[in-house]
């Protein structure tokens, strides 16, 4: 047994006992029976292994970082065996999570997108986390990014612990922008406000690159099209859905205004009309585009390329204040009548540990939602992540709806319509009509949850 692990085992059990409180299990109960962690620890026998099942959807760099965070937990809790399962991102993940929970065999802890939380909660698939339970576990509600915690709260009850905020942001090629005269004396991008200033900056960058001022993926990527549109549309104060998706609230004038600006960038050749994800990566990493509009999770993609880049929130082109489209990863405890108080306490301990390790998570570009990490001196030194913290506080998400959320049919419909406008194959007004007609069958259908 590694040095100190027995002490940590006892400490972990005692901590768990404190979380459980008198109503969930007393000291006597924990000591009852020779198999209890405290009893076996005190009497020198090897502690029994507790199991914790954990589902997530992280691969690549995020997957590597999550494994490091799981390892940190295991090292501190050697009496708990964590069985982590990585499942395919998107609808397949949520389908499996829903079926497992409905079938009475959910994981103890799972990752979800907050944009999916409303539907999962109203389907009765998640266990609420009372504020006193969160506080007892060392997770008081005032220690989270407010926007993320609001999104994690459904009908007044917290149903998820936010892990991060991952906003749609603006990358810029430092060398291109320097040559274009877009940097200030400290070498940072000068503020860009309003459609004219952003367009002028793209035009200046284009003169340097000789090809494009900026780039964002248009082809075969409805989610990116939706995020780009949502950023500007939300800045105008627009909404898309209400009443859990049963009512379309799309503001045609605001949507046309946002799309008209976006189309002006592709029609003028400042951004490519048609480019897939691979083409986007190629253009920005080789200096053929000075700006990139994408999620911050692309930072690891460009970190290993020659391009020297920085990242800032997407400028507030419309409206008086910053508004950033974003989503959040969050940790939930699926509904499980068989979960006893001790197992639930272990689950809460695991969640707390992941949050405490979220400096590792931030290396993938994500902004920690756990303020003790986000406001730490170490995170303040982390670049470019610390440059776009404001996007987390200004985050707006997918609208609640049984067919909306990350990788959903909602994003497919709206994103596909946006793409037709970006390619100039359809007018902005035509794209808005396509959004409305595509969403209407879902808004009119009887919701399967709620």
Walk along the chain (450 residues) in steps of 10 and give the mean pLDDT of each run: 35 41 39 40 51 95 96 95 92 92 96 96 96 97 97 97 98 98 97 96 98 98 98 97 95 98 98 98 98 96 94 93 95 96 96 98 97 97 96 96 93 98 98 98 85
Residue 389 inside a domain? The answer is no
Same domain, 262 and 189: yes
| Burial class of residue 181 (count of CB atoms within 10 Å of its CB; 0-12, 13-18, 19+) | exposed
On whether the CB atoms of residues 70 and 336 are closer than 8 A, the answer is no
Which residue intervals of 268-308 are DSSP H helices? Answer: 277-285, 299-303
Residues 142 and 76 in one domain: yes
Domain contains 336: yes
What pLDDT score was predicted for residue 35? 40
**Residue at 90 is within a domain:** yes
The domain that contains 189 carries what CATH number? 3.40.190.10
Give domain status of residue 19, yes or no. Answer: no
110 phi and psi angles, rounded to 5 deg: -140, 155
* Shared domain check, 201 and 247: yes
- What is the C-alpha separation between 420 and 218, in angstroms, rounded? 9
Residue 14 counted as domain residue: no
Residue 252 inside a domain? The answer is yes
Supply the DSSP string of 12-55, one letter for each residue: HHHHHHHHH-TTT--HHHHHSSTTSHHHHHHTTSPPPPEEEEEE
* Tokens 């610390």, residue located: 386
Give the pLDDT confidence of 156-190 residue by residue, as tens digits: 999 999 999 999 999 999 999 999 999 999 999 99
- Asked whether residue 350 falls in the same domain as residue 415, the answer is no
Q: Where does residue 103 rank: exposed (0-12), middle (13-18), buried (19+ CB within 10 A)?
A: exposed
**pLDDT given at position 38:** 43
Structural domain span for residue 309: 168-325+397-444
261 with 372, same domain? no
Please give the DSSP secondary-structure letter assigned to residue 381: T
Whole-number pLDDT of residue 450: 58
287 with 410, same domain: the answer is yes
pLDDT value at residue 129: 97
Q: What is the pLDDT of residues 225-239, one digit of tens each?
A: 999 999 999 999 999
Residues 425 and 302 both lie in one domain? yes
pLDDT for the residue 19: 39
Count of domains forming the chain: 2
Q: How far apart are the first and last CA of the chain?
A: 50
> Alpha-carbon distance 375 to 354, whole Å?
16
How far apart are the C-alpha atoms of 204 and 344, rounded to whole Å?
56
Closest CA relative to residue 56, chosen from 96, 99, 115: 96
Residues 218 and 139 in one domain: no
101 and 73 share one domain: yes
Q: Are 69 and 198 part of one and the same domain?
A: no
Average per-residue pLDDT for the chain: 90
Cβ neighbours for 211, distance < 8 A, ≥ 6 positions apart: 283, 288, 289
β-pair type (80-86, 50-56): parallel
Residue 159, token pair as written in the block: 């149903």
What is the rounded radius of gyration, in angstroms, for the C-alpha atoms of the chain? 24
* Closest among 261, 273, 276, 177 to 222, alpha carbons compared: 276
pLDDT at 105: 95
Asked, for residue 11, whether it belongs to a domain, the answer is: no
Instruction: Output the CA–CA distances (angstroms, integers) from residue 196 to 163, 219, 265, 325, in the order listed.
Output: 36, 26, 11, 21
């Amino acid at each position: 047994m590694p040095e100190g692990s027995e002490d940590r085992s006892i400490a972990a059990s005692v901590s768990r006992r404190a979380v459980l409180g008198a109503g969930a299990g007393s000291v006597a109960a924990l000591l009852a029976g020779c198999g209890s962690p405290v009893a076996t620890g005190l009497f020198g026998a090897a502690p029994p292994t507790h199991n914790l099942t954990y589902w997530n959807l992280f691969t690549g760099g995020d997957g590597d970082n999550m494994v490091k965070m799981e390892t940190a937990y295991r090292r501190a809790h050697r009496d708990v065996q964590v069985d982590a399962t990585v499942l395919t991102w998107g609808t397949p993940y949520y389908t499996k999570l829903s079926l497992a929970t409905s079938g009475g065999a959910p994981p103890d802890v799972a990752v979800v997108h907050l944009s999916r939380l409303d539907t999962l909660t109203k389907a009765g698939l998640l266990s609420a986390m009372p504020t006193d339970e969160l506080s007892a576990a060392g997770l008081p509600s005032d220690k989270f990014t407010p926007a993320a915690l609001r999104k994690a709260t459904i009908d007044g009850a917290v149903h998820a612990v936010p892990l991060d905020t991952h906003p749609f942001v603006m990358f810029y090629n430092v060398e291109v922008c320097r040559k274009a005269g877009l940097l200030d004396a400290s070498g940072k991008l000068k503020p860009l406000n309003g459609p004219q200033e952003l367009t002028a900056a793209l035009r200046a960058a284009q003169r340097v690159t000789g090809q494009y001022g900026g780039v964002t993926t248009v082809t075969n990527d409805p989610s990116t099209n939706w995020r780009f549109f949502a950023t500007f549309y939300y800045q105008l104060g627009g909404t898309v859905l209400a009443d859990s998706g049963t009512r379309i609230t799309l503001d045609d004038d605001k949507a046309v205004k946002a799309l008209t600006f976006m189309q002006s960038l592709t029609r003028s050749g400042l951004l490519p009309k048609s480019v897939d994800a691979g083409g986007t990566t190629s253009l920005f990493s080789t200096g053929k585009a000075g700006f990139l509009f994408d999620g911050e999770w692309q930072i690891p993609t460009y970190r290993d390329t020659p391009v020297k880049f920085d990242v800032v929130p997407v400028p507030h082109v419309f409206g008086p204040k910053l508004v950033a489209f974003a989503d959040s990863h969050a940790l939930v405890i699926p509904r499980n009548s068989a979960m006893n108080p001790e197992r639930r306490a272990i689950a809460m301990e695991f969640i707390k540990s992941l949050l405490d390790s979220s400096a590792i998570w931030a290396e993938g570009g994500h902004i920690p939602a756990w303020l003790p990490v986000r406001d730490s001196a170490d995170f303040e030194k982390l670049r470019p992540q610390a440059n776009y913290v404001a996007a987390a506080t200004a985050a707006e998400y997918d609208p609640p709806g049984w067919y909306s959320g990350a990788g959903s049919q909602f994003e497919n419909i709206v994103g596909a319509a946006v793409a037709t406008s970006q390619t100039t194959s359809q007018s902005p007004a035509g794209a808005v009509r396509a959004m409305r007609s595509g969403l209407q069958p879902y808004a009119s259908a009887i919701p399967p949850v709620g």
